Amino acid sequence: MIDSPGLCRELRCLVCKSTSHWHIFTPIGGIVVESEIVEDCSSRDPLLGIDSLDSSSGVKSDEYLDLQLRVFRLTFLLTIFAVGIAGFFLGIQASASLFVGALSGIFYFRLLARGVGRLGTSSKIVGKVQLLVPVLLVLVSSRFPQLDLIPALLGFLLYKPALIIEFLSMP
């Protein structure tokens, strides 16, 4: 029978490294588990007592940054394409509204990606600051007669097709 503090102690002992350790064989459900018991596991990480920065997290954060850059580039390309199409078929006012909406969508996505990137290291939840961006977009587009609300909202959502395209093209 393993209680949750015992489980956390076992996980901490499996992950921490030390010069002095013993090998203990523990049967759990008919499976023999080898674990290391460490004398000093200082609590550097509040959850497991391990360093949160290891070599694999650097690789994962680099991959995450590369993914963000690819999505931002694709969003910019889709924005340029959509603004050109809207300018040709719908006029300058609609294309300007679409452009302002697309810029606010990119800003929203950047704030969201920054909040997700901080998860686990400095925060436990994603902040809600990025939710002000669509509210401000609606307020600005209703305040200024040069901006139309519907093209601005469609422009705001242009980062979503970029995400879908990027994830469909991943191996």
Instruction: Supply the DSSP string of the chain, one letter for each residue.
Output: ---HHHHHHHHHHHH---SSEEEEEEEETTEEEEEEEES----SSTTTSS-S--HHHHHHHHHHHHHHHHHHHHHHHHHHHHHHHHHHHT-HHHHHHHHHHHHHHHHHHHHHHHHHHTBTTTBSS--SGGGHHHHHHHHHHHH-TTS-HHHHHHHHTTHHHHHHHHHHS--
* pLDDT for the residue numbered 32: 44
pLDDT above 60 (res 108): yes
What confidence tens digit (pLDDT) does each residue in 74-101 have?
Answer: 999 999 999 999 999 999 999 999 999 9
Report whether 14 contacts 48 (CB < 8 A).
no
Global pTM reads 0.64
What confidence tens digit (pLDDT) does each residue in 24-48 have?
Answer: 444 444 444 444 444 444 444 444 3
The residue-averaged pLDDT of 1-19 equals 41
